[in-house]
């Protein structure tokens, strides 16, 4: 399999973390590309020219992080990204974190055409969304990756690290002690350390 990714995308990071947590690193060739750059090997690999994009062993191109993760669970069921125990709670947590990721990525893109975006009505709603998501996770953090490397844990770590990476002026965890303690407990996890967002 081939996984197209870049070094900053939180969506691509979900797939990269899942590959490592599932012990599939030797089955997946990770290719770092610029999704905006028209890379000839990447263009046509998926419908939207966005990362993550996965080419399966039979050459099927998959887009959208949720679809890619579903496929990874299909080819390597253990450990499951969507474990059946407490599924509704896990999905609720994963949804909160994914929503925050979605909004943060949208802010970064929108700023390019609207430099004052953060302070306008829509921009301020976007920041309220991030805070509401983190408040929800503060009340009920996911299970630790060591216990259950599931979608909620992967997405929460990705959301927190992306918030710190893209909005370093904001103190996301100062008033959220449970979430801060949760992220601290994940320290040293190979899947997270090896995929921290960074500029190329």
Ligand X SMILES: N[C@@H](CCC(=O)N[C@@H](CS)C(=O)NCC(=O)O)C(=O)O
Q: Quick count: other Cβ atoms within 10 Å of Cβ 64? A: 16
- Which is nearer to ligand X, 161 or 176 (by Cβ)? 161
- Which is nearer to ligand X, 65 or 129 (by Cβ)? 65
Quote the least distance from Cβ 36 to ligand X, whole Å: 6
Of residues 104 through 143, those in contact with ligand X by CB under 6 A are 105
Alpha-carbon gap, residue 25 to 18, rounded angstroms: 10
Contact pattern from residue 49 through residue 68 relative to ligand X, giving x for each residue in contact according to CB under 6 A and a dash for the rest? xxxx-----------xx---
Contact flag: residue 11 with ligand X (CB under 6 A): yes
Q: Quick count: other Cβ atoms within 10 Å of Cβ 165? A: 15
3-class DSSP state for residue 120?
coil
Start-end of H helices in 8-120:
10-21, 65-75, 87-113
Instruction: Count the site residues for ligand X by CB under 6 A.
Output: 11
Alpha-carbon gap, residue 53 to 12, rounded angstroms: 8
The answer for 76, left when phi > 0, alpha when psi is -120 to 50, beta otherwise, is beta
Q: Candidates 22-30, 44-52, 124-132, 150-158: pick the segment binding ligand X (CB under 6 A).
A: 44-52
- Which is nearer to ligand X, 45 or 176 (by Cβ)? 45
Judged by the rule CB under 6 A, the positions of this chain that interact with ligand X are 9, 11, 35-36, 49-52, 64-65, 105
């Amino acid at each position: 399999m081939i996984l197209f990714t870049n070094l900053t995308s939180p969506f691509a990071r979900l797939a990269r973390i899942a590959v490592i947590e599932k012990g599939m690193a030797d089955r997946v060739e990770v290719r770092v590309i610029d999704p905006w750059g028209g890379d000839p090997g990447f263009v046509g690999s998926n419908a939207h020219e966005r990362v993550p994009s996965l080419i399966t062993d039979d050459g099927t191109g998959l887009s959208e992080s949720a679809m890619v993760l579903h496929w990874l669970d299909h080819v390597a069921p253990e450990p499951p990204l969507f474990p059946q125990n407490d599924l509704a709670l896990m999905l609720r947590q994963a949804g909160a974190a994914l929503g925050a990721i979605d909004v943060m990525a949208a802010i970064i893109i929108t700023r390019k055409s609207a430099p004052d975006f953060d302070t306008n009505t829509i921009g301020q709603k976007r920041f309220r969304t991030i805070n509401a998501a983190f408040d929800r996770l503060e009340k009920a953090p996911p299970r630790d990756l060591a216990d259950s490397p599931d979608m909620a844990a992967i997405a929460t770590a990705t959301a927190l690290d992306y918030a710190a990476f893209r909005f370093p002026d904001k103190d996301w965890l100062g008033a959220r002690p449970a979430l801060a303690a949760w992220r601290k407990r994940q320290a040293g996890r190979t899947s997270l350390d090896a995929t921290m967002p960074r500029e190329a």
